């Protein structure tokens, strides 16, 4: 390890690995940092060591290419896996990255660099509804992570629900792994992709493949339907499925038996670190805050770059392209000769336009708030029901921050990652970028202890 690097990259997913590799090829000393023990992020989630999968690429598109990138990067750059970044600082041209190394016995570590590329990805965006706190209810991303990362099928009788094309690979993966998928319920229309020529041209083949898998396993796919309640005493036993109008108000309902519900309403970029540094943000097509960048993926803070989902949710291919552009920009800004590559920028523009159209095709509509009851938990960590949120509003809370101060949603373990979007919507405002001085849970002793660089053991 070096006392100071040219570029530190946070995130070992498609964007981070591509950015780190590109920067290293341009002559920079690079260090890559990620909290997970294996590379790949959520998209290329690897099996634990000791798993001998006969077809490791069956659940991943493009895994072979990513694996080649990773092996090349390991020979050219320093890699710090199992390092959770809890804070970043910038002063006098140097970025300081503060980490916790290890799992149970965490040790504070510090990495310094001249530049920083943030490629921290996104997490699921759930919406609350009656019964979403029951065992057996999990996010669609969680169900896929279990399957990709551990070859574990989340349940035997599974319902997949929410909105967006991500529901298709989740349902197809579960069905292919042996689950009895009772149905896929898309809250928006079934033709969300087909109505947009850009979308149809970009993803037709992939969508047809998922559709063929669902047809082979006789999995019904229903548009304008949603799970509006989950039921069971100690675990999930059945869900209420509603046919929806165009605003997502229930028109009629029926019951579907299941032991698992995998659901999701898109993704939320993880912005804790760029916001810590003061990077400017903007609202994406779906209203979610994302980092503002220029054509070279430079943020508003000199020497800080962002790539992948933090600039807007767009999938692994766009993330990889953005990582390459950001790595080239970092190298050029640090004095390396980097020839122009307009073809790469044009490809990013096409993929970004595709991502924007995708967000517009699968919006979250306001009718979901009508699914809630007074006793429905809005924040599961702090067990805050809807009635407490309404009471806070009656006491004068007019925004999400005021609701949080009076009723405590978002003050639990997840720090609003799961409920923040819903609380903002219930408060009548657009979701705001998270402003947390600490990005990861950290013990007070570690917070107070002097941090060490990896050189100090």
Residue 388, token pair as written in the block: 């407490």
- In 15-153 the beta strands, taken as DSSP E runs, fall at 30-34, 78-81, 83-91, 94-101, 107-118, 122-124, 137-139
424: nearest Cα among 414, 439, 438, 410 = 410
- pLDDT for the residue 195: 58
- Which segment of 230-234, 256-260, 426-430, 433-437 scores lowest on mean pLDDT? 433-437
Three-state DSSP class for residue 128:
coil
Backbone angles phi, psi at 101, to 5 degrees: -95, 135
- Which segment of 45-49, 65-69, 400-404 scores lowest on mean pLDDT? 45-49
C-alpha span between 336 and 354 (Å, rounded): 32
What average pLDDT does range 282-301 have in this prediction?
Answer: 96
Cβ-contact 83, 100 below 8 angstroms? yes
Residue 446, token pair as written in the block: 């570690």
Task: Say if residue 251's pLDDT is above 80.
Answer: yes
Q: CB atoms < 10 A from the CB of 101, how many?
A: 17
- Which segment of 51-60, 179-188, 321-330, 376-385 scores lowest on mean pLDDT? 51-60
Three-state DSSP class for residue 108:
strand
- Which segment of 48-52, 81-85, 132-136 scores lowest on mean pLDDT? 48-52
Taken as a whole, the chain contains a residue count of 457
C-alpha span between 424 and 259 (Å, rounded): 30
- pLDDT for the residue 437: 78
Residue 343, token pair as written in the block: 């073809």
pTM for the model: 0.91
What percentage of the chain carries pLDDT values higher than 90? 74
- pLDDT for the residue 218: 96
What average pLDDT does range 265-292 have in this prediction?
Answer: 95
Q: How do beta strands 107-118 and 5-10 pair?
A: parallel
C-alpha span between 342 and 96 (Å, rounded): 32
Three-state DSSP class for residue 266:
coil
Over residues 103-119, the pLDDT tens digits come to 777 888 999 999 999 99
What average pLDDT does range 346-358 have in this prediction?
Answer: 92
Task: Say if residue 221's pLDDT is above 80.
Answer: yes
Between residues 390 and 54, which one has the greater pLDDT?
390
C-alpha span between 253 and 314 (Å, rounded): 33
- pLDDT for the residue 137: 98
- pLDDT for the residue 59: 56
What average pLDDT does range 235-243 have in this prediction?
Answer: 98
- Which segment of 37-41, 237-241, 373-377, 381-385 scores lowest on mean pLDDT? 37-41
C-alpha span between 266 and 314 (Å, rounded): 11
What average pLDDT does range 221-239 have in this prediction?
Answer: 97
329: nearest Cα among 355, 353, 311 = 311
Q: What domains does the chain contain, in order, with CATH numbers? A: 5-123+268-339 (3.50.50.60), 126-265 (3.50.50.60), 372-426 (1.10.10.1100)
Task: Say if residue 453's pLDDT is above 70.
Answer: no
Average pLDDT over the chain, rounded to an integer? 90
What percentage of the chain carries pLDDT values higher than 70? 91
């Amino acid at each position: 390890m070096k006392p100071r690097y040219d570029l530190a990259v946070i995130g070992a997913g498609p964007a981070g690995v591509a950015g780190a590799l590109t920067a290293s090829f341009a002559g920079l000393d690079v260090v890559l940092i990620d909290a997970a023990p294996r590379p790949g992020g959520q998209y290329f989630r690897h099996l634990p060591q000791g798993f001998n999968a006969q077809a490791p690429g069956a659940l991943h598109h493009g895994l072979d290419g990513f694996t080649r990138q990773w092996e090349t990067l390991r020979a050219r750059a320093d890699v710090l896996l199992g390092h959770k970044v809890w804070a970043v600082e910038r002063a006098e041209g140097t970025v300081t990255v503060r980490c916790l190394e290890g799992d149970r016995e965490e040790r504070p570590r510090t990495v310094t660099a001249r530049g920083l590329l943030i490629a921290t990805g996104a997490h699921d965006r759930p919406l609350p509804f009656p019964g979403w706190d029951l065992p057996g209810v999990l996010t669609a991303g969680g169900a896929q992570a279990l399957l990709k990362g551990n070859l574990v099928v989340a349940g035997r009788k599974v319902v997949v629900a929410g909105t967006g094309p991500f529901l298709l690979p989740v349902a197809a993966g579960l069905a292919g792994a042996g689950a009895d998928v009772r149905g896929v319920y898309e809250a928006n229309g079934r033709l969300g992709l087909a109505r947009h020529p850009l979308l149809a041209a970009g993803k037709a083949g992939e969508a047809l493949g998922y559709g063929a898998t669902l047809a082979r396993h006789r999995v019904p796919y229903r548009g304008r339907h949603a799970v509006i309640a989950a039921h069971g005493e100690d675990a999930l036993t059945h869900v209420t499925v509603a046919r929806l109008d165009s605003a997502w108000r229930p028109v009629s309902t029926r019951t579907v038996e299941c032991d698992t519900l995998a659901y999701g309403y898109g993704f939320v970029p993880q912005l804790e670190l760029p916001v810590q540094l003061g990077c400017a943000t903007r609202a994406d097509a779906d209203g979610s805050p994302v980092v503002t960048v220029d054509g070279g993926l430079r943020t508003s803070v000199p020497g800080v770059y962002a790539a992948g989902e933090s600039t807007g949710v767009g999938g692994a291919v766009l993330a990889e392209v953005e990582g390459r552009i950001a790595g080239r920009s970092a190298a050029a800004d640090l004095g390396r000769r980097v020839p122009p590559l307009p073809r790469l920028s044009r490809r990013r523009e096409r993929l970004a336009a595709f991502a924007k159209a995708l967000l517009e095709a699968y919006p979250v509509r306001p009718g979901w708030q009508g699914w809630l009851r007074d006793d429905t938990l809005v924040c599961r960590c702090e067990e805050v029901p809807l009635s407490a949120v309404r009471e806070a509003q009656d006491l004068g809370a007019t925004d999400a921050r005021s609701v949080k101060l009076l009723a405590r949603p978002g003050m639990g373990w997840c720090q609003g990652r799961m409920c923040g979007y819903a609380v903002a919507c219930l408060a009548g405002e657009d979701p705001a970028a998270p402003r947390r001085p600490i990005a990861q849970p950290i013990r007070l002793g570690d917070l107070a202890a002097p941090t060490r660089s990896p050189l100090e053991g």
